[in-house]
Structure 1
């Protein structure tokens, strides 16, 4: 049983037609773009263009409590000022909730999803999953007691290794059942989980190549498992090195990462190219915005990207100053 979403009548939640390459950049509006976001945007854009494909823009605002007012407009302004051009209209997850519910309904109907009554306190003693979350011990997978009420919905996982080859990080393996357990699809607060939303969106948008930061490497096995549970084609995955501060902390709002300076777009792009191992010539740092983009499209090579999960960002980007 596959869905035919009313909001996207030309597509169904089955295997999407495979274009030569469709990439995407999917920031969360929790603040303006920082250098780490720029690296992910640039790497995903250049790889899609290098393969002669499309590059889509999606705002991942499905988690309403974390969305910061004005952040979406700030992100769009930054991308435009930096010279990014995307294909088609911007997609907003907050406008696609019915599609996530249809996917959940499909999983429920096929008995691949089940209701869970567990609270965080009840799971506090569970073992840790690789990403630091608590592994679900399977408490409710055989059904709720009569006095219990569902708080969340989880995907029923099964033992077995999921293996994939990441274009930068190499061969990866994870047993989702053993390492993570039955993971959440619909949270207790009524918010659809990131894992469900991103899989549905990638399928409906026909994404063939997911290029993003290595901080999301730990989500990939769950997403592959969910793609297969929904009968969807699995995209290729590429995880770029994450930009960190000098203490090794990923650049983020929590680590007070500075916003990318749109007043010096060429400097920002130049440093991102250097971070990604592209070795741009020194005089490119003083070039025009069209010139640096022309050089990037002509000379981009994913093979040159460092085979690392994390690298320290340039000091200039940590302090939001120009070269």
Structure 2
């Protein structure tokens, strides 16, 4: 078994991160497996080196040791570019020049919900000059992608069991951003396969993204790990802990004299721990 913790160095870790890291670590250790640390530093505008150092410091304070060197996505850009070129060669991606404001104006969605891209640029003719001149992202042509794989793609979640992949509901997702040569969807799919990750432990807020990752695995001929989507920790106001909302960091708790052993014990006693057996997956596979 190989699990991983893959934070973005855009702020200090908080209890929500600790919750996920501890469970990924313990899941692997309980099976005599490996626990990896990957830094997802593909956001050039928000990534900071002091946050990278802080991640390692916080995990060490919690008593979590990872196996092997720390992998950084910024050093793996050629892998993502190669995968994107493979999809381009099959006509499964297209350039999109739309701004966020234009997408919001052309697509209807409830307030606070990210709208599904309406496909404005999907049928544009190839224009090499425009590609060289204007910022653009690359989107997956979802309809073409779905028609190119076998029907009935599935993935396994420790809580939900077998899940039928429904990537179509996500629309034409971005695989390479305007400000970065990849996106979360493409990078995480490539990295989990390249690192041999067998079990992905992450928050339930990424459950829907797994539909897209399962499709990308099929398109690129990559293995599908088992997924363990855990509940999200919330604050006293009932909202999920998040960097942007000022969730108290592990560094702050450490400065206040918090006991890391007691903290880890409280996190591992949560109902997040999976009870489903891996034998069920092996028989199905």
Tell me the TM-score range normalised by the shorter chain: 0.7 to 0.9
Displacement, 1:161?
6.3
1:192 matched to 2:187? The reply is no
1:244 matched to 2:229? The reply is no
Aligned partners of 1:115 and 1:144 also within 8 Å? no
Aligned partners of 1:211 and 1:239 also within 8 Å? yes
Specify every segment of 5 or more residues in structure 2 that has no aligned partner in the other structure, as ranges: 277-285
1:101-180 aligned within 5 A: 101-124=81-104, 125-128=106-109, 132-144=113-125, 146=127, 149=131, 151-158=136-143, 162-173=153-164, 175-177=166-168, 179-180=169-170
Distance 1:172 1:191 in 2: 30
Aligned partners of 1:162 and 1:176 also within 8 Å? no
Aligned partners of 1:169 and 1:238 also within 8 Å? no
Aligned partners of 1:249 and 1:255 also within 8 Å? no
Residues 50-105 of structure 1: CA distance to partner in whole angstroms, max 9, x if unpaired?
A: 22211111011111212134111011011112111111000011111121111111
1:35 matched to 2:7? The reply is no
Residues 148-200 of structure 1: CA distance to partner in whole angstroms, max 9, x if unpaired?
A: 546111112135665433102444445322x2211111112234211111111
Specify every segment of 5 or more residues in structure 1 that has no aligned partner in the other structure, as ranges: 1-20, 278-300, 305-323
Spell out structure 1 runs of 4+ moving beyond 6 A.
none
TM-score using structure 1 length:
0.74
> Alignment partner of 1:62: what SS?
coil
Equivalences, count? 259
Distance 1:47 1:190 in 2: 32
Aligned partners of 1:134 and 1:180 also within 8 Å? no
Distance 2:119 2:152 in 1: 18
Distance 2:9 2:27 in 1: 23
Residues 258-309 of structure 1: CA distance to partner in whole angstroms, max 9, x if unpaired?
A: 11234521121121122246xxxxxxxxxxxxxxxxxxxxxxx6219xxxxx
**1:268 paired residue among 251, 263, 266:** 263
Displacement, 1:33?
1.5
> Alignment partner of 1:65: what SS?
coil
> Alignment partner of 2:102: what SS?
coil
Aligned to 2:206: 216
Distance 1:233 1:128 in 2: 34
Distance 1:204 1:127 in 2: 38
Displacement, 1:145?
6.6
1:228 matched to 2:218? The reply is yes
> Alignment partner of 1:210: what SS?
strand
Aligned partners of 1:26 and 1:58 also within 8 Å? yes
CA RMSD for the aligned pairs?
2.3
Displacement, 1:119?
2.3
TM-score using structure 2 length:
0.83
Distance 2:222 2:165 in 1: 19
**1:254 paired residue among 240, 244, 249:** 244
